[in-house]
Amino acid sequence: MKRTITAVLAVLSIDVTAVWSQSNQSGGTAVTRAEVEAVLKHPEGGADRQIKVVDVGKLNVAVGVLHRDAVKDTGWPVRGLSHTQVTEVYYITSGSGTLVTGGTVTDQKPMAADTEVVKVAVGPSITGASQNAQTRVVSAGDIVVIPAGMFHGWKEVPNHVTYVSIRPDPDRVLPVGYVSPAIK
């Protein structure tokens, strides 16, 4: 898990040594496998569950875990969302699915600001439907970078897909110091 997070941060061109030394002078912030599993099993939280949000100096970095059960391909348009200020880097840990990104987004609606997913996980976001988007099959071991403002959703998930999301937060819209109630 630690190597995975390090690899994802390297993809973002963040100096990991600086990030960890700034976030916690006593040795950095870890997210253990046991914490990920506890958050996944927690009865509250829906599909998108924030684990921790850390101040790393010039920005916050959040780590979340998501799980989607089977999704049947119903054709276009695919429903999904975009986060206006937070980028996401997915590391697929198990399962697979067809991820949809970009395209022409219609029927756009802002998510309610008082929802847990907006307040804690991803910041201000817009839901909608996308056509003419890029589709790609992703599976365990794959990494996908979804810039802030880019539509994303799942067209099909045959069985399940579980993935860690690293969330750079340069505008600091996520609550620094947040720790999931499942691991407090």
pLDDT tens profile 124-174:
999 999 989 999 999 999 999 999 999 999 999 999 999 999 999 999 999
Give the CATH superfamily of 2-169. Answer: Jelly Rolls (2.60.120.10)
Closest Cα partner for 102 from 162, 146, 66, 72? 146
**Contact indicator for 109, 128 with CB cutoff of 8 Å:** yes
Q: Once rounded to an integer, what is the mean pLDDT over residues 3-15?
A: 42
Q: What is the structure's pLDDT at 184? A: 85
In sequence order, what are the beta bridge partners of 153?
100
Domain boundaries, the chain: 2-169
Q: Residue 105 — very low, low, confident or very high, per pLDDT cuts 50/70/90?
A: very high
Closest Cα partner for 120 from 111, 129, 128? 111
Q: What is the structure's pLDDT at 47? A: 84
Residue 85 CB: number of other CB atoms within 10 A? 16
Q: What is the structure's pLDDT at 42? A: 85
